[in-house]
Chain A
Amino acid sequence: MFSYCVDPDSLETLAWLSCYLTTGVHMSFYMAFLKVLGLLAVTAPVALGFGFLGAMAARSGFGPLRWFGKTYIAIVRGVPDIAFFLFFVIALDQALEWLRHKTLCPDWDMPIRQGNDFIVCQAAKLPAGSAPEWIHETYGFALAVITFAIVFGAFAANVLFGGMRAVPHAQLETAAAYGMSQRQTFWRVLVPQMWVYALPGLSNLWMVLIKATPLLFLLGIEDIVYWARELGGTKTSRFTDYPHGDWRMWYFLALLVFYLAFTKVSEIALEKLMLRLTHGQATTGGEAQRRAAS
């Protein structure tokens, strides 16, 4: 990166480090941090959406919808994350390709499963075989987001379901007495009040989600854990300009600091959010705020 990096062997420690830490592989490492943050930024709202829909379904008055919501919550909560991640992503990918195969290549007469091989016609490939690598990566990333969202959505659904039930029943009865319809009661009375009950559970989920990002590596996405392992490994001078011993400890230490700092920041933000949500609520927290103010 810097002009003096041409001959790293002759450099002083600090200059050497400045060159070493700006090599192309390290840039990929730094990009991986953005990847993880990006995944969280996309997954959290999507998972919350899944959770909200799940909770709505689970308390629906319409039987099949209610069973669907409850089954979703029960199954996903019951299956181990790793099993879900290894199985579901491959199944989802193959299901999508199979559907495309059926619609795009109707005259294909070879079996899709040949022994161990899963073969669909070229047009049905997802992403297309000729697509550049970044499309493949984006596709993998999207699969990861969906998988994360489904898993964490189930937990969020359970939390929100509990939050909705925790809203004092008198509030809903009052709303009915004022002549609000079911729908109005739900959106104007229940939903605004349930967050304060759901937030402790949701904040837990957020923390677990942050820590779960290394599962990305299982999905073949080169996340920070992959790069820490790769960069920290012993490098001999034949294959790099920057030979070093086993430095994985230092890289993982950096990851430790990153994750701890990130959870700390999240904690502070969630605390602020909690304060705001409690404001004016008929809970002990809301009551305490009212007393302090008066």
Chain B
Amino acid sequence: MKSLILTTAALAIVAGSAFAQDKTIRMGTEGAYPPYNFINDSGEVDGFERELGDELCTRAELTCEWVKNDWDSIIPNLVSSNYDTIMAGMSITDERDEVIDFTQDYYPPTESAYVALSDDVDLEGGIVSAQTATIQAGYVAESGATLVEFATPEETIAAVRNGEADAVFADYDYLLPLVEESGGELTFVGEGVPLGGGVGMGLRESDTELRDKFDAAITSMKEDGSLNALLDKWFGEGVGTY
């Protein structure tokens, strides 16, 4: 068994280096989750992960290209090799780790928060909306509240605005600009909940070589403080704590 693993690993390295040249790394993202990733006015992928991903590619000396994909099918399309990485504000969880691999985190475990129209909503027994297949949806399902799931983050907010849900549960960083600009309509309710094992880059389990490259690049960005600078730029002063 051990030798089998060793040979497979050796083969992976040999095969990996054989086609290492002339390969564009396709970076998959959702493009609907600011500030992590979004589509800017000129129609390009923008945001924290775009900037970080481009820098990581430069450091790892890779040619990279950004690809948009629906959140629902973002993991299936990775494992069937339609693109090579996922950078989409994806938290590292045990369930996902069984299907794909993650680099180390490039954003520490994030805080999730509830947002509602008023302060007096029942977060334990009411109806709470969350995006499908997120750690937030998993958390709500276990919290006792009735979970309503939506395919995009936008719809989870709309559900609160039109009264379909009492509150929405999502990443604090995603909700913050929306609450600030709602003119007092939306407010944070209850305590923030730390969830997940940090946000990392997802890769195919067989792609160990690529994962090591990106891991090394993330480490170097953590060491020279440039990752902290990026975090401060996109999420506000004091977020970068590596």
In addition to A23-B42, A220-B73, 4 A-B residue pairs with Cβ atoms within 8 Å of each other are: A110-B11, A130-B63, A217-B70, A242-B41
Is A3 an interface position by the 8 A CB rule?
A: no
Contact pattern, A 215-254, Cβ under 8 Å of B = 1, otherwise 0: 0010010100000011001101111111100101000000
The contact of B158 among A108, A114, A246, by CB within 8 Å, is: A246
Can you sample 7 A-B contacts with CB below 8 Å?
A24-B43, A27-B43, A109-B11, A129-B23, A130-B63, A236-B34, A241-B41
Q: How far is the CB of A274 from chain B (nearest CB, A)?
A: 40
Surface stretch bound by A, among B124-132, B135-143, B163-171, B174-182? B174-182
Count class of interface residues, chain A: 35 or more
Does B26 contact A129, Cβ atoms closer than 8 Å?
yes
Is B31 an interface position by the 8 A CB rule?
A: yes
Does B24 contact A234, Cβ atoms closer than 8 Å?
no
With A and B bound together, what is the CA distance between A24 and B152 in angstroms? 22
Q: How far is the CB of A90 from chain B (nearest CB, A)?
A: 6
Surface stretch bound by B, among A51-59, A119-127, A157-165, A258-266? A119-127
With A and B bound together, what is the CA distance between A93 and B82 in angstroms? 10
| Chain B, Cβ-Cβ closest to A217 | B70
Is A28 an interface position by the 8 A CB rule?
A: yes
Shortest Cβ-Cβ A-B pairs, 8 listed: A24-B42, A122-B19, A233-B154, A24-B43, A236-B177, A25-B43, A116-B79, A23-B41
On whether A239 and B79 interact (CB within 8 A), knowing A24-B43, A129-B23, A230-B31, the answer reads: no
Does A239 contact B42, Cβ atoms closer than 8 Å?
no
Determine the chain B residues whose CB is within 8 A of the CB of A217 once the complex forms. 70
Determine the chain A residues whose CB is within 8 A of the CB of B42 once the complex forms. 23-25
Contact pattern, B 115-159, Cβ under 8 Å of A = 1, otherwise 0: 000000000000000000000000000000000000010100110
Q: How far is the CB of B98 from chain A (nearest CB, A)?
A: 9
Does A117 contact B79, Cβ atoms closer than 8 Å?
yes
Is B88 an interface position by the 8 A CB rule?
A: no
Does A117 contact B206, Cβ atoms closer than 8 Å?
yes
58-115 of chain A: CB within 8 A of chain B = 90, 93-94, 108-110, 114-115
With A and B bound together, what is the CA distance between A30 and B181 in angstroms? 29
Is B204 an interface position by the 8 A CB rule?
A: yes
Does B41 contact A238, Cβ atoms closer than 8 Å?
no
Does B31 contact A129, Cβ atoms closer than 8 Å?
no
| Chain A, Cβ-Cβ closest to B161 | A246
Is A118 an interface position by the 8 A CB rule?
A: yes
With A and B bound together, what is the CA distance between A234 and B31 in angstroms? 13
Determine the chain B residues whose CB is within 8 A of the CB of A12 once the complex forms. none
Q: How far is the CB of A4 from chain B (nearest CB, A)?
A: 15
On whether A243 and B181 interact (CB within 8 A), knowing A23-B41, A114-B205, A233-B32, the answer reads: yes
Does A236 contact B205, Cβ atoms closer than 8 Å?
no
167-215 of chain A: CB within 8 A of chain B = none
Does A238 contact B43, Cβ atoms closer than 8 Å?
no
272-290 of chain A: CB within 8 A of chain B = none
Does A220 contact B43, Cβ atoms closer than 8 Å?
no
On whether A220 and B26 interact (CB within 8 A), knowing A24-B42, A110-B11, the answer reads: no
The contact of A236 among B41, B77, B82, B180, by CB within 8 Å, is: B180
Does B69 contact A220, Cβ atoms closer than 8 Å?
yes
With A and B bound together, what is the CA distance between A116 and B11 in angstroms? 19
Q: How far is the CB of A2 from chain B (nearest CB, A)?
A: 14
With A and B bound together, what is the CA distance between A131 and B82 in angstroms? 12
Q: How far is the CB of B47 from chain A (nearest CB, A)?
A: 8
Is B35 an interface position by the 8 A CB rule?
A: yes
Does B38 contact A239, Cβ atoms closer than 8 Å?
yes
With A and B bound together, what is the CA distance between A67 and B224 in angstroms? 69
Determine the chain A residues whose CB is within 8 A of the CB of B195 once the complex forms. none
On whether A117 and B161 interact (CB within 8 A), knowing A233-B154, A236-B181, A239-B34, the answer reads: no
Is B220 an interface position by the 8 A CB rule?
A: no
Does A130 contact B22, Cβ atoms closer than 8 Å?
yes
Is B68 an interface position by the 8 A CB rule?
A: yes
Is B12 an interface position by the 8 A CB rule?
A: yes
Does A233 contact B41, Cβ atoms closer than 8 Å?
no
Determine the chain B residues whose CB is within 8 A of the CB of A108 once the complex forms. 15
| Chain A, Cβ-Cβ closest to B99 | A116
Is B81 an interface position by the 8 A CB rule?
A: yes
Contact pattern, B 72-93, Cβ under 8 Å of A = 1, otherwise 0: 0100010111101000000000
Does A118 contact B80, Cβ atoms closer than 8 Å?
yes
Determine the chain A residues whose CB is within 8 A of the CB of B65 once the complex forms. 132-133
Is B46 an interface position by the 8 A CB rule?
A: yes
Q: How far is the CB of B120 from chain A (nearest CB, A)?
A: 24
With A and B bound together, what is the CA distance between A108 and B69 in angstroms? 30
Does B70 contact A220, Cβ atoms closer than 8 Å?
yes
Q: How far is the CB of B223 from chain A (nearest CB, A)?
A: 29
Does A94 contact B80, Cβ atoms closer than 8 Å?
yes
Q: How far is the CB of B169 from chain A (nearest CB, A)?
A: 17
**Among A220, A233, A241, residue most surrounded by chain B Cβ atoms (within 10 Å):** A233
Is B40 an interface position by the 8 A CB rule?
A: yes
